[in-house]
Amino acid sequence: MPVSTHLGSQLVDLCSVLLLLCCFAIVAQRRLSACVDLFALQSVFLAATAALVAFLTGHRHIYFAAALTIVIKVIVLPRILRKVIERLNVSRELVMNVNVPAGLLICGALVIVSFFITQPIIPLGYLLTRDSLAIALAIVLIGFFTMIARKKAVTQMVGFLVMENGVFLGATAAAYGMPLIVELGVFFDVLVAGLIVGIYTHRLQDAFDSVDTSTLTVLKE
């Protein structure tokens, strides 16, 4: 393997690890605005990974995905979420289903699990960035866990977006990006989901005087 690709592969791995670190920081964070900032930071790393992969492989369309990531996930969505936080006047997550230390331990376990799961399929990839697949899976699982562990509507949305970032890392790093039409569609869906959450939390606030989803208990068996 030429030195440049070897170095490139290591750089991609480094970026992926930075994404993973952001996940841990989100799990450890109680301030909602910091969670949103960390998500934006994670998206910056995602865009950097995508640009790096585009540069190393010469697949031009990945630059486009990187640019869209910057616009939608670094600028637009965090802005929507910050507006929601400001309007609803909630700054701290006071109710958590799982406390921070336990949450971090679980996330560590999730990372191990995802390396274990992807172990048999990683050598199949011939791409220089295939190792990122395990990290991508870990990010998806941690995003999933965040949604279960937190109760505020905003953090649940951040969890969803983190999952989406994980999937994108998997798509870009392990398989050089999905076909352009699919990526555009996914970006569109994520953006609309963000807008819907923005409108929806407003209505929840009107109806329940709270965006703590644990007050959503009218419906049960």
Q: Nearest approach, Cβ of 49 to another protein (angstroms)?
A: 15
61-83 as b/e: b if 16+ CB within 10 A:
ebbbbbebbbebbbeebbebbbe
Comparison of 39 and 176: residue with beta carbon closer to another protein: 176
Q: Nearest approach, Cβ of 1 to another protein (angstroms)?
A: 17
Q: Nearest approach, Cβ of 10 to another protein (angstroms)?
A: 21
Enumerate binding residues for another protein (CB under 8 A): 117-118, 120-121, 124-126, 133, 136-137, 140, 143-144, 147, 153, 156, 159-160, 163-164, 166-167, 170-171, 174-176, 178-182, 185-186, 188-189, 192-193, 196-197, 200, 203-204, 207-208, 213, 216, 218-219, 221
Q: Nearest approach, Cβ of 95 to another protein (angstroms)?
A: 16
Comparison of 105 and 192: residue with beta carbon closer to another protein: 192
Comparison of 55 and 144: residue with beta carbon closer to another protein: 144
Q: Nearest approach, Cβ of 79 to another protein (angstroms)?
A: 19
Comparison of 14 and 182: residue with beta carbon closer to another protein: 182
> How far is it, in rounded angstroms, from Cα 44 to Cα 33?
17
Comparison of 3 and 218: residue with beta carbon closer to another protein: 218
